[in-house]
Amino acid sequence: MSVVTSSLSGDQEKKLLSLFGHARLSLLYKASVQGYTAAAFHARCNSQGPTVVAAYNKAGFLFGAYTSKDYTQNGQPINDDKAFLYSISDERKNPLRVSSTNGQYGFTDENTGPNFGALVFLFNDTATVQYNAGNSYNFDAAHMHGDDLQLTECEVYRVEDLGGCLTKPWRNMQWTSERKRQLKEKIKNYKPDVKSVSQARVLLVGPVGAGKSSFFNSVNSIFRGNMTSQAICGSAGTSLTTQFRTFTIKSGKSGEPIPLILCDTMGLEEASGAGLDMEDIVSIYKGHVQDRYQFNPMTPLSDDVPGYRKHVSLKDQIHCVLYVVDACRVSLMSAKIVEKFAAIRKKTNQIGIPQLVLMTKVDEACPLVSEELQNVYMSHYIQRKIQELSASLGIPVSGILPVKNYSQELELNQNTDILLLSALDQILNYADSFFENQPEQEEL
């Protein structure tokens, strides 16, 4: 599965966003990857709410069309007083914006590429735009697209209104150095209620690229006091983690391990037979999978292969499951990934393991949070994403923890640390629930 990335330059994205106010763009369709066809466009862009077409040509123009309405292929003209055409070029400081001639027409919802009357994108399933002068929109062709209708790329983005700041935070959080110290001490001094268990074991489960390995590295960095990269992380189309890893976290370079083990797994993938297997998850839950076991997506772990732990006790089991989801991808999770989450949730409930959701990359998802991490619980957009994630995964809002992992920083940041430590504190609270509900067992 290839990684699909935006072709917008930083300046182009800034100018495009200036047309919408406080909004965020999420890439839905990229013609060079998914095909210059109407069918490929509609498969990814129908019923997605407000969207904007971004067409690129060799003349250096970025031009396209925005509508606040859904594409549904109903064959009818769609009224949309918010629709417009636009053009961005290096020569212009501000984008060109053109509304329809009657102020009401938006586009024609046909089985073609996006049809905005004067401009029809992906014309005849090709990398071209049909220009129909004066059809519902009036503009100078040279100013709109430089008289170049041959495309080098065509993309469609969902346009999400970020909603600004709330009047007060919807969760209380103390952002002080004293609070950071308290959280670190509380976590270091944590003791499971069961005498035979000295460390809570937490399993990280989530799609490829969600930030599971980055979460461990970030937590490890906090307790080490400097940036670390023990777990392999990065960006790729398939899982970078191919082994089952159990990571201990030391307090300081030569300090004692804290009473928490984070277990990393392969990422979930859409394709059947790819990524983490359900049978392997159950084996991990029950403590049968040893550290550094090499996953084989085609063959689940069995009791006759190396890496299988036959005799397990309570300390080998998973005590809390942490689903990891990228905040930027909440609205873009495929039905197949949601189905995999649902299947895992059902099995986890049957076994009786507490579950939480870690929503990562909140700074990338919301500019308000990027500017100031303390806005995370003031952001209307982040609150909305958490509510959406709750509905999608069936996890209560109280069980969803927004965080920012370290990714490009060289120094620790107090606000980032507090948000991560607060998440760890809640994770250990949920692990306690597991211990309270499980009788101590020596051999299983």
Q: What pLDDT, in 10s, does the model give residues 334-344?
A: 888 999 999 99
Per-residue confidence at 295, pLDDT binned at 50, 70, 90? confident
DSSP letter at 90 equals T
**Number of other CB atoms surrounding residue 15 within 10 Å:** 20
What is residue 209's predicted lDDT score, i.e. its pLDDT?
Answer: 86
Least confident interval from 137-146, 187-196, 228-237, 407-416: 228-237
What is residue 109's predicted lDDT score, i.e. its pLDDT?
Answer: 97
What is residue 198's predicted lDDT score, i.e. its pLDDT?
Answer: 93
What is residue 237's predicted lDDT score, i.e. its pLDDT?
Answer: 47
Cα distance between residue 352 and residue 437, in whole Å = 8
Between 413 and 209, where is the model more confident? 413
434 touches 319 (CB < 8 A): yes
Q: What pLDDT, in 10s, does the model give residues 34-79?
A: 999 999 999 999 999 999 999 999 999 999 999 999 999 999 999 9
To the nearest whole number, what is the mean pLDDT of the chain?
Answer: 91
Cα distance between residue 433 and residue 418, in whole Å = 23
278 touches 351 (CB < 8 A): no
Mean pLDDT of 241-270: 87
Residue with tokens 């965020």: 24
Between the CA atoms of 383, 202, 421 and 340, what dihedral angle is there, to the nearest 10 degrees? -20
pLDDT at residue 297 tops 80: no
Residue with tokens 């009047």: 167
Q: Where are the domains of the chain?
A: 10-161, 177-437
Both tokens assigned to 28: 């839905």
What is residue 254's predicted lDDT score, i.e. its pLDDT?
Answer: 79
- 3-class secondary-structure state, position 144: helix
What is residue 4's predicted lDDT score, i.e. its pLDDT?
Answer: 83
**What DSSP string describes 287-336?**
T-BPTTEE--TTS---TTSTTB--S--GGGS--EEEEEEEGGGGGG--HH
What dotted CATH number matches 177-437?
A: 3.40.50.300
